[in-house]
Amino acid sequence: MRIVILNGPNLNLLGRRQPDIYGYETLADVEERCRRLAGELGVEIEFHQSNAEHAIIDAIHDARETADGLIINPAAFTHTSVAIMDALKTFEGPIVEVHISNVHQREAFRHHSYVSLVATAVLAGFGTNGYLLALRHVAHVLQRDQG
């Protein structure tokens, strides 16, 4: 089983950008924790980050052919990208949307998510542990569905 984990704009600055909101853990730290958990769960992961909307869309298109599940932290594209939503509609496996902060406690424009319209599940406000919760969930769903 393969799970793709996609990260949107500015997450390359995780740990250095607004640590009061996002914490001090870097995206490399998150990736390392996800890889460790994936090994325990018996799944493979691909981990990507891009500040470019088209690169995220291309990664979703690629995942259609290579992945069984998808985890996405679309960051600011959450609230703006119909194109990412449309790309996600073409993915047939489970999709979990992850947000490090609780977006519902923040500015009003952050309360709407195009991605949530197609996501199987949404995690917000769990910090970077949300990635691990999402990974456990997707692995569970895939293992359950394989019988």
State the amino acid at position 120 in one-letter form.
Answer: T
- On whether 113 is known to bind a ligand per the annotation, the reply is no
Distance CA 12, CA 94 (A): 25
Domains of the chain: 2-146 (3.40.50.9100)
DSSP state of 33: H
Provide the annotated active-site residues: 22, 99
- pTM of the predicted structure, to 2 decimals: 0.92
For the chain, the farthest-separated pair of C-alpha atoms sits apart, in whole angstroms, at 43
Distance CA 145, CA 47 (A): 23
- On whether 101 is known to bind a ligand per the annotation, the reply is yes
- On whether 12 is known to bind a ligand per the annotation, the reply is no
Per-residue pLDDT of the chain (147 residues; tens, 9 = 90+): 999 999 999 999 998 887 777 778 999 999 999 999 999 999 999 999 999 999 999 999 999 999 999 999 999 999 889 999 999 999 999 999 999 987 776 666 555 789 999 999 999 999 999 999 999 999 999 999 886
Q: Are the C-beta atoms of 138 and 63 separated by less than 8 Å?
A: no
